[in-house]
């Protein structure tokens, strides 16, 4: 996802001299081409994310479109006060880029994981919150953010679902993508963990359970219409996120459905429950440890809908 996103910025930079990319002393391998071609549109601020965010706000107020770039929770939690007071309060045209969302940096422990970011960033006024699920969505989100005005956050996973783009499809921020049709249950996922949802759907299909799969690449604003349709047309909804269940994707969906008066037959949130991702290992391993793998999704859906009779 990271590479696709940076390629999109690199393609658009010549057309947008106002575009600036700031990094907190990270990403040199992937940013080399951008730096070589557009040295006046790049700045390494050093290991100083709070300063980077304040500087980005000032540059944006002067007319620039500014991207701040760092890994895990560094570009968000470490500088939350600057994001709130300097960027959001002033409606500054700053795009915060998190590389390695969720438990992508599994081997270096919870200090490098981003598992509360969606909850915190979506609570800030005027903040657009994007969480692409595949490489196509990541690239298209990058292109969109160059022209979008105002604060935005994009969470890029190290993993990615297989490309789900349809021929001629247009990426629409705020519009949930139905990447697989089904009527027995809905599985809504955000980020690279959509890959686990798709594998689960294949396994469930073999058992006669047809699941609707939703790629929720935009957390704020949330697409109420698609969610209401899922609540009314399928037996229930399972939300899957590599994030705390508190105030994350599942909470955003629940809020939208309750306010719309749509009540699914069942509703399950799959994510971290009142715990840090304190285990150490690969992202795949941690998904198994914290019950976010395809096998657990399958068990969760079957527990709610059962297995169709073969008679």
Give the Cα separation of 304 and 269 in Å (integer). Answer: 13
Q: Which residue would you say has higher pLDDT here, 58 or 27? A: 58
Position 202 pLDDT exceeds 90: yes
* CA torsion through residues 40, 74, 196, 247, sign: negative
pLDDT of res. 5:
97
Identify which of 209, 239, 243 has the alpha carbon closest to the alpha carbon of residue 227: 239
Asked whether 238 and 145 are in contact (CB, 8 A), the reply is no
Read off the pLDDT band of 76 (50, 70, 90). very high
Read off the pLDDT band of 174 (50, 70, 90). very high
Q: Report the chain's mean pLDDT, rounded to a whole number.
A: 96
Position 53 pLDDT exceeds 80: yes
Average pLDDT value for residue range 128-149: 98
Average pLDDT value for residue range 77-90: 98
Name the one residue in this structure whose structure tokens are 């509360």: 116
pLDDT of res. 302:
98
Asked whether 215 and 246 are in contact (CB, 8 A), the reply is no
- φ, ψ for residue 272 (rounded to 5)? -75, 130
Average pLDDT value for residue range 125-145: 98
Q: In angstroms, what CA-CA distances link 21 with 27, 44, 50? A: 11, 9, 15
pLDDT of res. 311:
44
Phi-psi region of 248 (alpha: psi -120 to 50; beta: other; left: phi over 0): beta
pLDDT of res. 310:
53
Which domains does the chain show, CATH number per domain? 2-156 (3.40.50.970), 177-305 (3.40.50.920)
pLDDT in tens, 239-296: 999 999 999 999 999 999 999 999 999 999 999 999 999 999 999 999 999 999 999 9
pLDDT of res. 309:
63
Asked whether 69 and 27 are in contact (CB, 8 A), the reply is yes
Position 157 pLDDT exceeds 70: yes
| Sheet strands side by side (includes 128-130) | 42-44, 19-23, 65-71, 94-99, 152-156, 128-130, 218-220
pLDDT in tens, 294-311: 999 999 999 999 887 654
Q: Who contacts 238 (Cβ-Cβ below 8 Å, separation ≥6)?
A: 185, 186, 187, 188, 268, 270, 297, 300, 301, 304
Token readout for 300 is 């969760």
Q: Which residue would you say has higher pLDDT here, 27 or 136? A: 136
pLDDT in tens, 97-125: 999 999 999 999 999 999 999 999 999 99
Asked whether 232 and 284 are in contact (CB, 8 A), the reply is no
Q: Which residues pair with 272 in a beta bridge?
A: 244
């Amino acid at each position: 996802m990271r590479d696709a996103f940076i390629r999109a910025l690199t393609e658009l930079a010549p057309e947008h001299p106002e575009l600036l990319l700031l990094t907190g002393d990270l990403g040199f391998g992937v940013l080399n081409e951008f730096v070589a071609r557009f040295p006046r549109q790049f700045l390494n601020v050093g290991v100083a994310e709070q300063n980077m965010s304040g500087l980005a706000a000032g540059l944006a107020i002067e007319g620039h479109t500014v991207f701040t770039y760092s890994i895990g929770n560094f570009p968000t939690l470490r500088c939350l006060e600057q994001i709130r007071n300097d960027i959001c309060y002033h409606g500054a045209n700053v795009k915060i880029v998190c590389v390695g969302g969720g438990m992508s940096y599994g081997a270096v422990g919870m200090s490098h994981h981003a598992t509360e970011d969606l909850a915190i960033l979506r609570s800030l006024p005027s903040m657009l919150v994007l969480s692409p699920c595949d490489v196509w969505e990541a690239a298209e989100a990058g292109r969109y953010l160059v022209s979008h005005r105002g604060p935005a956050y994009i969470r890029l996973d190290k993993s990615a679902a297989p490309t789900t783009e349809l021929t001629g499809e247009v990426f629409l921020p705020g519009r949930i993508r139905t990447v697989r049709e089904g009527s027995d249950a809905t599985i809504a996922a955000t980020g690279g963990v959509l890959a686990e949802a798709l594998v689960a759907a294949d396994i469930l299909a073999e058992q006669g359970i047809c699941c609707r799969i939703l790629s929720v690449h935009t957390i704020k604003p949330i697409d109420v219409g698609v969610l209401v349709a899922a609540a009314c047309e399928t037996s229930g909804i399972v939300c899957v996120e590599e994030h705390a269940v508190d105030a994350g994707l599942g909470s955003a969906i629940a809020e939208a459905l309750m306010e719309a008066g749509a009540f699914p037959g069942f509703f399950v949130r799959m994510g971290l429950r009142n715990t840090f991702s304190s285990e150490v290992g690969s992202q795949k391993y941690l998904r198994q440890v914290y019950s976010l793998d395809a096998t657990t999704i399958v068990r969760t859906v079957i527990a709610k809908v059962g297995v169709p009779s073969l008679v």
